[in-house]
Amino acid sequence: MPTIKADRMSAFVSDIFAAAGCSRAEADRIGKYLVIANLTGHDSHGVQRVPRYLEWKRTGQLHADREIRIVTDTPVLAVVDAQRGFGQSAAPQAVEIGIRKAKAMGLSAVALRNSGHIGRVGDWAEMAAAADLVSVHFVNAAGSSLVAPFGGVERRFSTAPYCVGVPRPGKTPLVLDFATSVVAEGKVLNASFGGKKLPDDALVGPDGTISADPHVLYGDYAPTELRDYRKGKGAIRAFGDHKGSGLAFMCELLGGSLTGTGATEEGRPFANGMLSFYIDPKVVDPDNFFPADVAKYTALIKATKPIKPGGEVLVPGEPEERMRAERGKNGLPLPEDTWGAIVAAARAVGLSDARIAEVTA
């Protein structure tokens, strides 16, 4: 399994997208955010996405260097149409608008519609937290119908992530960021490439059989072949029974229907929709009670007696912070098939074998 330094990998991904026709600035953003996903341990949303992004671009589902269009603009609200541009370009612009409005008004909401894949939603909560704002994000992935609702076996929801970010002065923010399915699709993708195995209850076959086998989602595939979930007959399961399934439904309605992206339906091209709320704690709490109470309560949670001796209770964002430190130092481990698929994609856009060899040298 190759282990690649983060900065080398982001430069390589940038070269791939620049060769594929993105501006250098956009290609750099794609490299940056995909690699942050790997650094934080979310390989599902990392560089393994390169071949699929290129395929979407090639087939006209995703466009290089698209300008965002502001559909609605009030002092507290914006509707931003990404017009099927890369999410790594559209999402930071939408977040920036939300930050600016919340700084001015104490509170803001931004609906991002028709975006290319926005990757790890935690990136956007971290961006808001870096500006000292609390944020809440409801997201859907229209067209990517993969998840069976509670009690059903057919695909209806996307993996519809939900995310909340809480800033902490002088510390990394608390970031709760998860797909409302047992696993994100990228984790099935990663498992299909020989990565981490899925939980036993992650998938459901058309006859109701519970499974952890990626073939349930992708059907038959060769090792480095692009995975295509249209070939499989099963679904990912919504997490947390009726509660997780209900949250997924609301992510579809708020992130999808309300943003104008549309709730998930099979057969549509891929688009992320994201409804985000930004709150300035300094306006809600002029006495500055919030940071100290967050610190006190976080410490109380972490001091909970663990179930297993030697175990530990973690808070949201903590596993990512640790993984970032570890992988920042030691590099990103990539399964052979994932690396093979990226190399094939790099060759297809014209990168030389000498350039490819530099990455693992």
Do residues 123 and 38 lie in contact, with contact meaning Cβ atoms separated by under 8 Å? no
Instruction: Check binding of 184 to ligand NAD (CB under 6 A).
Output: yes
Task: Give residue 255's identity as a one-letter amino acid code.
Answer: G
| Residue (106 or 240) nearer to ligand NAD, CB | 240
| Residue (91 or 102) nearer to ligand NAD, CB | 91
Instruction: Check binding of 35 to ligand NAD (CB under 6 A).
Output: no
Least CB distance to ligand NAD at residue 263 (A):
14
Give the integer Cα–Cα distance in Å for 251 and 240.
Answer: 15
Q: 235-237 and 203-204 as β-strands: parallel, antiparallel, unpaired? A: antiparallel
Least CB distance to ligand NAD at residue 232 (A):
17
Instruction: Check binding of 118 to ligand NAD (CB under 6 A).
Output: yes
| Residue (54 or 121) nearer to ligand NAD, CB | 121
Answer for which of 19, 176, 295, 323 binds ligand NAD (CB under 6 A) is 176
Give the integer Cα–Cα distance in Å for 354 and 159.
Answer: 38
| Residue (320 or 337) nearer to ligand NAD, CB | 320
Least CB distance to ligand NAD at residue 222 (A):
25
Answer for which of 46, 85, 244, 316 binds ligand NAD (CB under 6 A) is 316
Do residues 160 and 274 lie in contact, with contact meaning Cβ atoms separated by under 8 Å? no
| Residue (4 or 175) nearer to ligand NAD, CB | 175
| Residue (286 or 306) nearer to ligand NAD, CB | 306
Q: Which two structure tokens, joined as six digits, stand for 291?
A: 């940071």
Binding to ligand NAD by CB under 6 A, coded x per residue (else -) over 68-97, reads ------------------------------
Least CB distance to ligand NAD at residue 119 (A):
6
Instruction: Check binding of 121 to ligand NAD (CB under 6 A).
Output: yes
Stretch that binds ligand NAD, among 46-54, 65-73, 177-185, 343-351 (CB under 6 A): 177-185
Answer for which of 43, 213, 280, 320 binds ligand NAD (CB under 6 A) is 320
**With CB under 6 A, what is the number of residues at the site for ligand NAD?**
28
Least CB distance to ligand NAD at residue 124 (A):
9
Binding to ligand NAD by CB under 6 A, coded x per residue (else -) over 267-286, reads -----x--------------
Answer for which of 98, 149, 161, 167 binds ligand NAD (CB under 6 A) is 161
Q: Which residues pair with 235 in a beta bridge?
A: 204
Interface residues toward ligand NAD, by CB under 6 A = 42, 44-45, 117-122, 139, 141, 159, 161, 163, 175-179, 183-184, 187, 272, 314, 316-317, 319-320
